[in-house]
Amino acid sequence: MADHQQHVKSHLRGFQNEACADFTLPESRAAMEAALAAARAKFGRQWKLVIGGKCVESGATFASTNPAMPDEVLGYFQKGTPLLAARAVEAAAEAFRTWSRSPAIIRIAAAARTAELLRERRMEFNAWLVFEAGKSWAEAEAESGEAIDFCDYYARDMARLDGSHPVLQLPGEKGEIRYLPLGVGVIIPPWNFPLAILAGMTVAALVTGNTVVIKPSSETPNVAALFAEVLLEAGFPAESFNFITGSGSLIGDALVGHPKTRFVSFTGSRDVGLHINELAAKAQPEQLWIKRVVAEMGGKDAIIVDSDCDLDAAVEGVALSAFGYSGQKCSACSRAIVHADVYDAFLERLKPRVERITVGSPEDPQFYMGPVISAAAQQTILRYIDIGRQEGFLLVGGEAFGGDGHFIQPTVIADIEAADRVFQEEIFGPVLSVSKARDFDHALEMANDSQYGLTGAVYSHNAEHLALAREEFFVGNMYINRKCTGAMVGCHPFGGFNMSGTDSKAGGPDYLLLFLQAKSIAERL
- The catalytic site residues sit at 296, 330
Distance in Å, CB of 92 to ligand NAD, minimum: 16
Which bin fits 277, alpha (ψ -120 to 50), beta or left (φ > 0)?
alpha
For residue 384, state whether it binds ligand NAD (rule: CB under 6 A). Answer: no
Q: What is the CA radius of gyration of the chain?
A: 23
For residue 496, state whether it binds ligand NAD (rule: CB under 6 A). Answer: yes
- 290: buried, middle or exposed (CB in 10 Å: 19+, 13-18, 0-12)? exposed
For residue 228, state whether it binds ligand NAD (rule: CB under 6 A). Answer: no
Distance in Å, CB of 320 to ligand NAD, minimum: 18
Q: Which of 324, 501, 507, 509 binds ligand NAD (CB under 6 A)?
A: 501
**CB closer to ligand NAD, 298 vs 362:** 298
Number of neighbours of residue 366 by Cβ within 10 angstroms: 9
Give backbone dihedrals phi and psi of 174, rounded to 5 degrees, phi first.
Answer: -120, 115
Q: Which of 86, 187, 223, 454 binds ligand NAD (CB under 6 A)?
A: 454
What DSSP designation does 284 have? P
Q: In what order do the strands lie in the sheet with 261-267?
A: 54-56, 49-51, 241-243, 211-214, 184-188, 261-267, 292-296
**Number of chain residues interacting with ligand NAD (CB under 6 A):** 31
**CB closer to ligand NAD, 116 vs 425:** 425
Q: Which of 276, 350, 466, 469 binds ligand NAD (CB under 6 A)?
A: 276
- Stretch touching ligand NAD by CB under 6 A, among 44-52, 171-179, 261-269, 302-310: 261-269
For residue 67, state whether it binds ligand NAD (rule: CB under 6 A). Answer: no
Name the residue with the smallest CB distance to ligand NAD: 252
Q: Which of 58, 78, 411, 500 binds ligand NAD (CB under 6 A)?
A: 500
* Amino acid, single-letter form, for residue 378: Q
Which secondary structure element, helix H or strand E, spans residue 100, and what is its range?
none
Which of positions 306-335 make contact with ligand NAD (CB under 6 A)?
330
For residue 516, state whether it binds ligand NAD (rule: CB under 6 A). Answer: no
Nearest to 296, CA basis, from 507, 483, 80 = 507
For residue 225, state whether it binds ligand NAD (rule: CB under 6 A). Answer: no
For residue 16, state whether it binds ligand NAD (rule: CB under 6 A). Answer: no
Distance in Å, CB of 360 to ligand NAD, minimum: 23
**CB closer to ligand NAD, 209 vs 476:** 476
For residue 268, state whether it binds ligand NAD (rule: CB under 6 A). Answer: yes
Distance in Å, CB of 269 to ligand NAD, minimum: 3
Nearest to 413, CA basis, from 304, 310, 339, 322 = 322
* Amino acid, single-letter form, for residue 431: V
Number of neighbours of residue 256 by Cβ within 10 angstroms: 24
Do the beta carbons of residue 110 and residue 236 sit within 8 Å?
yes
**119 vs 29, 137, 434, CA distance in Å?**
17, 16, 40
Q: In this structure, is the dihedral angle defined by the CA atoms of residues 17, 324, 130 and 24, taken in order, positive or negative?
A: negative
Burial track 458-475 (b if 16+ CB lie within 10 A, e otherwise):
bbbeeeebbebbeeebbb
* Amino acid, single-letter form, for residue 189: P
Distance in Å, CB of 205 to ligand NAD, minimum: 16
Binding mask 233-252 vs ligand NAD (x if CB under 6 A, - otherwise)?
Answer: ---------------xx--x
Q: Which of 296, 306, 363, 420 binds ligand NAD (CB under 6 A)?
A: 296
Q: What is the largest CA-CA distance in the chain?
A: 77
Q: What is the residue-wise DSSP string for 181-194?
A: E-SEEEEE--SSST
For residue 388, state whether it binds ligand NAD (rule: CB under 6 A). Answer: no
Alpha-carbon gap, residue 459 to 457, rounded angstroms: 7
Binding mask 175-194 vs ligand NAD (x if CB under 6 A, - otherwise)?
Answer: -------------xxxxxx-
Site residues (vs ligand NAD, CB under 6 A):
188-193, 197, 217-218, 248-249, 252-253, 256, 267-269, 272, 275-276, 296-299, 330, 426, 428, 454, 496, 500-501
